[in-house]
Amino acid sequence: PTLSASPLSSSQPPRMVYLYHERQEAALCGQHCLNNLLQGPHFTAGDLADIATALDQQERKLMLEAGMTAEARAFMSEDSSNVDASGNFSIQVLSQALQNVFGLALEDSRRPENRSLMQSPDAQTGFVLNRHSHWYCLRKLNNQWWSCNSTQMAPERITSSGNFSGLSSELRNLASDNWTVFVVKGDRWPQPAPRNQGAPPSNWVDPASPPRDPNEPAEFSGSTFGNAAPRQEAPKVEAFSGQGRSLGGSKRPAPAEVADLSEEEQLAMALSLSQDLAGQARTPSEPIVVDEASPTTTLRVRMADGSKAVIKANHTHTVDQLKRHVASLAPGVAFSLKGGFPPKPLEEGGLSLADAKLLNEVLVFCPE
């Protein structure tokens, strides 16, 4: 088998463990990320391009509901927000692909309901990471966690068998380094593809003996390249030595108690505190409900990852309702919404979209 082996006698050499690993071609890291996550050649660039085209068509149809307005004409003249000429796919495409074929969902780890998952991530099966248009994944296989990055020649093991103490630190380091972490939810994971079936044999590698990059000088073999996430040491945590204050009567460990906590417990407590503070700045999320019998408008919001969200609303919806709808597109993220030129924060929350002169406007999502 590719991923597991029966016990061998001491006289036999250990059997190599092969993992499926696609390496970077053009800007197809989104395709490579999905296939490395699923451990098999499940998606081609053409499959993902078809999904991107379908999403583009849905967005154009929505924009044209009000007719060929100036905004719709401008939208139609723009390039796709779901795939660029080099093959870089959006989060919407990757999410749709996983959902359509395997019923798996990608959820932003910053969503409030995912807090506990990030504090005990070892119970999950996979994570998808994104930064600066690069995608890669973390995957649990044979009770070990692996970093599967197409900019590397082979997967890198980040935890030993059954010992997941380093996984939380790995995810925290990535988040602090501006990687967006998505949790892969669902239980319809496919079995790893049989070795050498459906893809070039070179796509199955032995992580203990990775192939050398043919484009890399021998003296640099094994070094990281591209937009890879660097290996980082777990941060050293010192117990807080000042005086603590609590609001609302919540019980936090006193300084002396913090000193008695393990490093993992201190890190979990620090993460919980930071999430509590971030939660105070979040906008409540609530999708807009459109009354088709009343006048409608279509707005475009440029999201932080460069994608465009198309939102249909009534003229009477308020700025606050618009913000709550946008919050549902990026759950758990503190943000401001800007419009006009030069873009300025939308602050008159009680104004209707018509009174705020936002009909058919292009807005900018700005994480804080």
Pull the structure tokens for residue 196: 């050498």
Distance, CA of 208 to CA of 156 (rounded, Å): 9
Question: Which pLDDT does position 205 carry in this prediction?
Answer: 93
- Percentage helix, strand, coil for the chain under 3-state DSSP, each rounded to 5: 30, 20, 50
Distance between CA atoms of residues 60 and 75, nearest Å: 8
CB-CB contact of 185 with 107 (8 Å)? yes
Q: Extract the tokens encoding 149.
A: 């990055």
Question: 68 with 61: CB under 8 angstroms?
Answer: no
- Is pLDDT of 59 > 90? no
Q: How far apart (Å, rounded) are the C-alpha atoms in residues 237 and 32?
A: 36
Pairwise pLDDT comparison (148 vs 332), residue with the higher score: 148
For residue 148, list its beta bridge partners.
137
In three-state secondary structure terms, 128 is strand
What is the pLDDT, as a whole number, of residue 216?
57
Contact 148, 137 (CB under 8 A): yes
pLDDT at 268: 57
Q: Which amino acid is at 230?
A: P
Name residue 269's amino acid.
Answer: M
pLDDT above 70 coverage of the chain, percent = 68
pLDDT reported for residue 94: 94
44: its two tokens: 């081609």
What is the reported pLDDT for 17?
78
192 with 20: CB under 8 angstroms? yes
Higher per-residue confidence, 284 vs 130: 130
How does pLDDT run across 226-251, given as a tens digit for each residue?
344 444 444 443 433 343 333 344 44
* Residue 221 confidence (pLDDT) above 70: no
The CA distance from 233 to 176, in Å, is: 13
* pLDDT on residue 21: 96
pLDDT average, residue stretch 264-282:
52
Residue with tokens 């597109």: 329
How much of the chain exceeds pLDDT 90, in percent?
A: 27
Q: How far is the C-alpha of 132 from the C-alpha of 119, rounded, in Å?
A: 25
Average pLDDT of every residue of the chain: 76
pLDDT bucket at 321, cuts 50 / 70 / 90? very high
Q: What's the rounded Cα separation, in Å, for the pair 298 and 284?
A: 22
What's the pLDDT score for residue 61? 75
pLDDT at 77: 60
- Name every residue whose Cβ is closer than 8 Å to that of residue 282 and which is 6 or more positions away in sequence: 327, 332, 333, 334
Can you read off the two tokens belonging to residue 350?
A: 């009680």
| H or E element, residue 144 | strand 144-148
The pTM assigned to this predicted structure is 0.59
Q: Is 100's pLDDT higher than 80?
A: yes
User: How much is the CA Rg of the chain, to the nearest whole Å?
Assistant: 24
The gap from C-alpha 10 to its chain's centroid, in whole angstroms, comes to: 43
Which of 60 and 222 is assigned the larger pLDDT?
A: 60
Helices (H) and strands (E) in the chain, counts: 9, 13
The answer to whether residue 155 scores a pLDDT higher than 70 is yes
Q: Exposed, middle or buried by CB within 10 Å (0-12, 13-18, 19+), for 21? A: buried
